[in-house]
Each structure stands twice: as C-alpha cells, then as structure tokens.
A and B are shown apart, each in its own frame.
Chain A
Amino acid sequence: MTPPKSQVMRSPRTVDLAVTNRCNLRCTYCSHFSSASEAERDLPIDEWLHFFEELNRCAVMNVTLQGGEPFCRPDLPELIDGIVENRMRFSILSNGTLITDDAAAHLAGTGRCTSVQVSIDGPTPRVHDSFRGTGTFDQAVNGIGHLRDHEIPVAVRVTIHRQNVDHLDEIARFLLEDLGLPSFSTNAASHFGLCREHTEAVQLTVADRTQAMETLVRLKQEYGNRISATAGPLAEAERWAEMERARLEGMDRLPGGGSLTGCGCTTSKIAVRADGVIVPCILISHIELGQIGRTALQDIWTYHPDLNKLRRRQEIPLEQFAFCRGCDYIKFCTGNCPALAYTTLGDVYHPSPDACLRRFIAAGGRLPEVIL
C-alpha cells in the first residue's frame, strides 16, 4: 500500500502512550476496559525508556500518557524523567484521584508538562460519583487542587451521560466560577469499552442529545467560549449546524465533505498500548502495527500497509455507502470518527452511524436554533 496523496508528516509529532493497563476505578462508561486496548500486561519501564530514545530520534514533540490510570504506575516519575531526557513535552489523561502534592511537584519540576486532563462529571459528589464510584469527586477535586498549587495547566473534561445531562448549568458554574478554571471541555459517553455493556443506563438518548446541545451552546455563549469540545453534543451541534447552514444556502461542498475525511490523526499521531503494541490510535487498538523494541517506529510510520490504508480512508467517497445514499448532507459530511464506526459496526472504513445528522433528525433530534 503506497502512502496517500495527502501530506503525511515524516514522523509522528505526537504519540499517545497507554503506559498502564491498571486503573483504581471502573467507571461505567470507561473506553479502555473491555476493548482491544485492554492489554494483558504492562510493559516494563526499561522498554519504555528505550522507546523514548527512539521517539527522540524520530523528533517526536509530545507524548500523551494515558491508561488505565497513569498515576497507578509507581514508576511514573522515572517514566516522565525519561520523556524529559529525550526532548519531549508531555500531557497526562487522568481520573485525578491519585494525584498527590508530591506527584504534582514532580510534574511541575520538569517544566515540560503541557497539561493534565482530569475527568469531572458533576458539580457534586452525587452526580460525579454515580458512574465513577463513591468518593471519587472529592479525590479528583483534591487532585486538581494539587496541580493548581504547582501551576500545572489543568484541562477538565466532562463526559456527558444520562445522570449528568440535567446538571450542565451547575457543572459549568462549579468549574468556571467556584473552581475558577479558565475553561473546560466536554464529550459524551460513547459506545466504547465498558459503555457497550451499559448503553441503556449511560448513553444519551436523542432527546438527551438535543437538550445537551441546546444547553452547551447557550453556556458556551454565556461563558465567552470557555467551553469547548472535539466530540460529543457540543462538537456535534457546531458541526451539524455548519452542515445545515451549508444545505440551506445551497453550497456546493464544505471542506472535507463528501468523503471519509473525519479523522486526520494518522498523518501526525500514532499510539502504543500498555503491552507495547503500536496501534494507529488507542481507540483503534485492534489494528496491531508492531511491537516497540522489535519494529522500528519510523518503518511502521512510513511503510506499514495497514496504516497507509487507514490514511487513504479519506479518499473513500460517501456515495459508495448504502447508508449515505440520498442524503441531503452528503456533500458536507465527513463520516466522523473511524473508531466509532468500528465499535458500532465492526468496520473502520464506514461512516460512523452515531455521527449521522440525517439519522439524528429522523429520530426526532433538533439542532439548537441559536446557532442555525
């Protein structure tokens, strides 16, 4: 498989690293457990440290540490020191509950921590803990406090689900006013991992999504764009409104519209599972590209046929899918996330049904009028 026509960087800029399979929590909608990213073992630190040297040679700029829960690794400080020694910056995705003052001090001392993302799903323990476990709200808020004491940028992520969709105003007030965070981002519990086993209890209905869109668009305006999203109801509202406006105005096409361009990650990013298997994305962990220490990352990046095939996904026209035929939005749609398509249909080379505007409207969904 030859590389695609689009511009692929000579080496990845960013690498997502699932540094551990372990987690102290079992959140009901966790995307990790019960998915292909759930590995059987954690890679020993020596192998990670060797890999960081390889990332240095590939001129990788950033790594994002995730899991599982990265702070479950007792040797996390040594891992971070290895990242720093190899000229990279790092971010961490965490549930926040294990972040101590000492841990935050170490992160700050490196001068290389771009941000720590902490999940907060409610304005109170009752809402937050509903799917994350008793006591986790207080622990996560404490963790945020330690990070802020050491002036580490905190990126709070709110995962929207059935139990907190009615509390979005209070969540925004808590995060932006009471805690005084500069911003936060949102997504939604998606059909990955453990969530697949709890769909009815967790995932938003069409009515919930409509409500979440209206609320988040309003809150974003009220708080001066301090709320953002790359997935979930707010991102969908903004993208779908753009598509609806394009349709109403009779536009020929939106940039990227009409084919599976919804994911550009494979031109600049790659990922590694906790067991050291290199994959295109943590959410597409079933496509195994090689093993760190055995296959050169640069060779995988440049030549691996499965990776180059995935990069060519964006050349696949939506017209070829029965799912899309006759759709008024086909010239404006990008098919969205391949991982969502895979987890729903078992096929990354298909538009994501969950991100289909036509389907959403047919099921009774509405876009917020304020942004149309």
Chain B
Amino acid sequence: MSKTIKYHVRNPDIVFREEFDDWAILFDPDTGNVFGLNPTGALAWKMLDGTTSVKEIAEAMMRLFSNVPEEAPAEIMQFIDELVERGYVGQDVTTP
C-alpha cells in the first residue's frame, strides 16, 4: 500500500524570526542551531500550515516574486525535505 505525503506542517517548537528586510531565520531552542531563510524560503515556511500543498506554495511564489524558475516546485520540495530532516517540519502522511 503506497503512502502519499500531501501536506507539511511547521514544528511549533521552532522559532521563526524575520530579521532584516524579508530574510529570516529558524531557531531551534533545544540545540541553539540557526537555519537561514531567504525571502522565498521565509514565504514557504509561513505557508507550511498543514493545509497548503507544495503546488500551492509554488503558485504563490510565482505571484509574489519575479523570475521564479520553472523548477521551483522541485526546489521547494528539496527545501522542505531538508527541513523535515532537521525536524523543523512534520509530514501529514495519508494512505489512499
């Protein structure tokens, strides 16, 4: 039986800090580690609410930023995978 990861959701223990302009950081208070986010990463983080798909995040980026490359959805997925690996994001796994 295959499983499909539909949505991702932010770990509420991770602190999201907008610092200068639209740049931001994620702070893990348990480790003290900091992870830098550029403006598109910051937007993606805000949209990881457990109800917004990667496709919808990519569409929002295309609306809000200029020169978004075609491979944006794949890059967003790569970015989210990294956040999942760090424990900053959880996956909502559904079984069809």
Contacts and interface: CB of A to CB of B under 8 A. Distances in A.
A59 B29 CA distance: 11
Interface stretch (A9-17, A239-247, A306-314, A344-352): A9-17
Interface stretch (B10-18, B44-52, B67-75, B76-84): B10-18
B19 A9 contact: yes
A226 interface: no
A269 to B, nearest CB: 14
B19 A88 contact: no
A7 interface: yes
Nearest to A10: B18
Interface string A50-70: 000000000101000000000
Interface centre among A7, A9, A59, A112 (most CB of B within 10 A): A59
A7 B17 contact: no
Contacts of A7: 20
Interface in B26-43: 27, 29-30, 32
A108 to B, nearest CB: 13
Interface residues of A, number: 14
A89 B17 CA distance: 15
A241 B32 CA distance: 34
A111 interface: yes
B32 to A, nearest CB: 6
Nearest to B27: A61
B20 A11 contact: no
A366 interface: no
SS of B interface (majority): loop
B17 A61 contact: yes
A61 B32 CA distance: 9
B3 to A, nearest CB: 31
B38 to A, nearest CB: 16
Given A7-B20, A9-B20, A59 B32 contact: no
B17 A59 contact: yes
Interface in A83-101: 84, 87-89
A59 B45 CA distance: 15
A89 B29 contact: yes
A13 B29 contact: no
A89 B15 CA distance: 11
Contact of B19 (A10, A84, A89, A114): A10
Contacts of B15: 59, 61, 87
A11 B13 CA distance: 18
B29 A11 contact: no
B30 A111 contact: yes
Contacts of B18: 10, 59
Nearest to B21: A7
Nearest to A268: B19
Contacts of B32: 89, 114
Contacts of A89: 29, 32
Contact of B30 (A9, A11, A13, A112): A112
Given A87-B13, A87-B15, A61 B29 contact: yes
Contacts of B19: 9-10
Contacts of A88: 29
Given A13-B17, A114-B32, 7 more contacts: A9-B20, A10-B17, A11-B17, A59-B15, A87-B15, A112-B29, A112-B30
7 contacts: A9-B19, A9-B20, A59-B18, A59-B27, A84-B29, A87-B29, A114-B32
Interface of A: 7, 9-11, 13, 59, 61, 84, 87-89, 111-112, 114
9 smallest A-B Cβ distances: which pairs?
A59-B17, A7-B20, A61-B27, A87-B29, A9-B19, A87-B15, A59-B15, A10-B18, A89-B29
